[in-house]
Structure 1
Amino acid sequence: MPLAFATADTAAIPVHVLQADQAPGFIAALPDPAQAWAGHQGFTGALGQVLILPDAQGGIAQVLVGYGTAQARARGRFHLGAVARQLPKGVYRIASGLTGLDLEEAALAWVLAGYQFVRYRKPAEPIAGLVAPDGIDAARVQIIAQAEALTRDLINTPASDMGPQELETAARALADAHGAAITVTTGDDLIAGFPLIHAVGRASPRAPRLIDMRWGDTGPTLTLVGKGVCFDTGGLNIKPGASMGLMKKDMGGAATVLGLAQMIMALGIRLRLRVLIPAVENSIAGNAFRPQDILTSRKGLTVEINNTDAEGRLVLADALALADEETPDLVISMATLTGAARVAVGPDLSPFFTDSDDHAAAITSAARQVADPVWRMPFHDPYEALIEPGIADLDNAPGGGMAGSITAALFLRRFVQSPYVHFDIYGWQPSAAPSRPKGGVGMGARALLAALPSLLKL
């Protein structure tokens, strides 16, 4: 069932969201029995506290929710998502305590709390419903939630059911739903135009492909490029088992750009959108590409392969070169690219790279507004020498073990002359958090959506 607000109901149960310093005054204004009940329950307005106040018939009269202090709230986000899962079945409305962006975040949190990945099991009981609060764009919130659900579903699906063909099918379904055009180059047809994509994917019995979707005919041009490595064994530089365990999520960049594309198209944003997804499985076979092979990219740059497990930047390179040939107003790549990015900022932040201070400011500001945290990383030019092996133009896996996320980003930048932003995301929630169950998760997409007016002068 699509994530959505509950149907408006005049009998919806009111929810009052109270900061810690507001709780005593609110409780003091309640009838004596309710005051006594709040006292017995120890309700102080601490973050995450939930107090259900009964009516005379034993039903629910209203709900008090603790919103704590600003310091407590800063240690997390989507706090009302946790509340939604604690309440008895019914329909609720946020009656007081939140306005503006806080109210919008709370509404999105509540809707996202209803997400379940149910492809392989029966769904659990749905959470309590929420009537769309006054003062927010309810349709926009629902579109964002449903696009996030698409991203999560794609990442959560195991590689047995989400290979390059299945990823293409998902892209085609999205294109059909929004009247977008789509073309796909598959298998040996990649050799001439997309040699790096072909080299990475050729060892799998599931043919590699380059998915190319277009939508919109007016406005600025935006090209999204998403890494679609549907499973990554590491190739001949095979990963240890512990590192291979989560590699179904290595197409998280593709899943995230498809989610962002769904937001853009469903909202009818006036721009010309292109989505490029190199979809491959990095497998092991006699025809797999090898360490110290030298490959020639679509752009003509040669690449020495020093680790076949650094394949994501290879498939992205050909897609970025194609994107750049049209000189779009902005190119954005999203990829689960490096473990170095996880070491640097952990699983909750989306690190991004750009040479434009204006773009960085717009993305950072938007991220704060929509509770989608990001962190700018540097395209540090002095490290360019690290990706130049001498025998070829570029090295796909420079040694030394330092600055891995930066050197990967610098590698990608060699294939783009247009304005460019690169996200090195994780795409996975390692443990359950409010509105984010353990599993696949979108990162950076909501921040980019909010930043588009500034990024593209819409």
Structure 2
Amino acid sequence: MTALPDFAPADADSLPLHVISPDDLPDWLAGPGAEWAGWLTAAGFKAALGEVQLLPGTAGLAGAVIGTGTAQTRARGRFGLAKAVAALPAVDWHLSGALTEAAAKEAVLGWLLASYRFDSYRPGKPAPALPRLKLPEGLDGETLLAMAAGEYLTRDLINTPSNDMGPEELQAAFFALAEAHGATASAIVGDDLLAQNFPMIHAVGRASPRAPRLLDMRWGSDGPQLTLVGKGVCFDTGGLDLKPSAGMLLMKKDMGGAATVMGLALMIMRLGLPLRLRVLVPAVENSVSGAAMRPRDILTSRKGLTVEINNTDAEGRLILADALTYASEEEGATIISMATLTGSARVAVGPDLAPYFTDDPAMATAIAAGAATGFDPVWRLPFWDAYEPMIEPGIADLDNAPSGGFAGSITAALFLRRFVTTPRYAHFDIYGHIPADLPARPKGGAGQGARALLYALPEMLDL
């Protein structure tokens, strides 16, 4: 796993990073920053969001300034202050300025997330040293580090190419996570899935020489039960309904749901939250061979519901269905599924928002509050009952790919809901990828919704 940066020691010598808004800039230049007024004016410093300027001193570097931008620019993007990580020299720094607790927390979390580098495949090009930040007084550093560690794990798993991150390798990462935190883990592999009644996980993965499997982790002995279920399609060709080549370019990220629930599990276990955690990951590769499932096949699920396969590229909901049925067999659990499930979700909300579904108003309230606290935007979409007939093909109980093209994310969520018996259920249809570099979010794999859920858990589970 990519090494997590640490905070600069509290007693270490450090340089000030002055955080200044455009409104406060004139007063700062006339007061505390007067000695640099000419320097900054000549440099054209306007305190735009993430704008950094080094400050000279008689003995060398005296510090730096960074702009917060206007309220409008801050509303248009998170973690603007994280631009400092790439702009500052690799020495120790501390924040200076009148930051609210929330602003300081966003700055520190952004700093940690911006320090991520995925260099596993460039051993001859080591990453440059990065600046370190002192933890401001009053902030919970352990939670910030736990969130960063979970995100690093998620990014590493998604960014690893599929030749090195198939079902077996995902299992190895899953088991390593369990071992590192004193959890127990097991796997049901290959034809044992049929023997133990996971027929749809087997059907999706049987065409690949890399055997399908169901991964199961348990941690904690007291408190409410939380079960996380993550889609682990390690590569998705589309099956016999083959994707075009352009459609396969990002398919190493189709295990982003699994990667995200594993990142969230890391956060929960590292922080020692008082709950009983279970993580289920159906891990498969959706490949093409003579053993592949065919369009118009009808599969019988673990729950006994029959499913007509009207598109072999709508495979994620099939493996999740068996896993969700298994999760629901444990009474009293709160269940959350996360999956890179539909392109319709991206059309609806784009890559920056994670849409989610729940019928439980209390869960929705907690998730919305957690999203704001964790700087992790989500958007609630409806389990719209009026669309239920769209997933009923007539020849079988369910259709895995309704025709018509409307409400694809909703119909997929409705499909999953058929396999869950508890009302305490939420489903996240995430993207798991950043298309272009953003502050604290480099292009590539990304977790979505995990921090929102971490902050939602105390209210959601009454911890």
Q: Which residue is 1:65 aligned to?
A: 66
* Most deviating of 72-81 and 8-17: 8-17
Report the counterpart of residue 45 of structure 2 in structure 1.
43
What does residue 186 of structure 2 align with? 183
SS of corresponding position for 1:343: helix
Give the aligned partner of residue 103 of structure 1: 104
In the alignment, which residue of structure 1 is the partner of 2:6?
4
User: Which letter maps to 1:103?
Assistant: A
User: 2:457 maps to what in 1?
Assistant: 452
State the superposition RMSD in angstroms: 1.1
The SS at the match of 1:405 is: helix
Alignment of structure 1 residues 17-416 onto 2, 5 Å: 17-30=19-32, 32-57=34-59, 59-121=60-122, 122-192=125-195, 193-416=197-420
CA–CA distance in structure 1, aligned partners of residues 309 and 211 of structure 2: 21
TM-superposed deviation, 1:39 = 2.0
Question: What SS does the corresponding residue of 1:68 show, helix, strand or coil?
Answer: coil
- Larger deviation, residues 122-131 vs 446-455: 122-131
Aligned to 2:87, what secondary structure does the other structure show? Answer: coil
| Whole-Å separation in 2 of the counterparts to 1:31 and 1:427 | 42
Residues 28 and 34, structure 2, Cα contact 8 Å, conserved in 1? no
SS of equivalent to 2:265: helix
Rounded to whole Å, the distance in 1 between the matches of 2:33 and 2:226 is: 57
The CA deviation string for residues 60-118 of structure 1, in whole angstroms up to 9 with x for no partner, is 21221110111110110011211221112211011223231211111011111110111
Deviations 1:359-399, CA, capped at 9 Å, x for gaps: 11211121012210000001000000000001110000000
Asked if the contact 1:329–1:456 (Cα under 8 Å) also holds between the matched residues in 2, the reply is no
Task: Give the 3-state SS of the residue equivalent to 2:345 in structure 1.
Answer: helix
Structure 1 CA distance for aligned equivalents of residues 53 and 369 of structure 2: 34
Fraction of identical pairs, as percent: 61
SS at match of 1:379: coil
Q: Equivalents in 2 of 1:287, 1:395: separation in Å?
A: 21
| Secondary structure, counterpart of 2:153 in structure 1 | helix
Structure-2 separation of matches of 1:97 and 1:84: 20
Greater alpha carbon shift after TM alignment, 129-138 vs 434-443: 129-138
How big is the shift at 1:441?
Answer: 0.4
TM-score scaled by length of structure 2: 0.97
Counterparts in 2 of 1:385 and 1:344: CA distance versus 1, 3 Å: same
| Contact preservation (8 Å) 2:85, 2:131 | yes
Using the alignment, how far apart are the partners of 1:40 and 1:157 within structure 2?
Answer: 45
Local SS of the residue matching 1:133: coil
Distance in 2 (CA, whole Å) between partners of 1:31 and 1:268 is 44
AA of the residue aligned to 1:434: P
Q: Which residue of 2 aligns with 1:431?
A: 436
Distance 1:114 1:126 in 2: 10
Match of 1:16 in 2: 18
- Return the letter of the residue paired with 1:401: G
2-side partners of 1:116 and 1:49: how far apart? 22
Matches of 2:33 and 2:408, distance apart in 1? 61
Q: Quickly say closer, same or farther: Cα 1:247–1:362, change in 2 above 3 A.
A: same
Gaps spanning 5+ residues in structure 2: where?
A: none
Distance 1:10 1:310 in 2: 54
Shift of 1:131: 1.4
CA contact (8 A) 1:225 1:275 kept: yes
8 Å CA contact 1:427, 1:440 repeated in 2: yes
Does the aligned pair in 1 maintain the 2:298–2:307 contact within 8 Å?
yes
Q: CA deviation at 1:32?
A: 4.6
Runs of 4+, deviation exceeding 4 Å: none
| 2:274 aligned counterpart, secondary structure | coil
Report how far residue 330 of structure 1 moved.
0.9
Cα distance in 2 between the residues matched to 1:331 and 1:46: 43
Aligned length: 457
* Cα distance in 2 between the residues matched to 1:89 and 1:213: 39
Quick check: 2:67–2:81 contact (8 Å CA) kept in 1?
Answer: no
1:51 deviates by 2.3
User: What is the CA–CA distance in structure 2 between the aligned matches of 1:248 and 1:428, rounded to whole Å?
Assistant: 10
In structure 1, runs of 5+ residues without a counterpart are none
Q: C-alpha displacement at 1:9, in angstroms?
A: 4.4
Q: Could you report, residue by residue, the CA deviation over 1:260-282 in whole angstroms, capped at 9, with x for unpaired residues? A: 00000000000000000000000
Distance in 1 between residues matched to 2:129 and 2:447, nearest whole Å: 22
> What CA distance in whole angstroms lies between the structure 2 residues aligned with 1:23 and 1:243?
48
Structure 1 residue 31, shift from structure 2 partner: 6.2
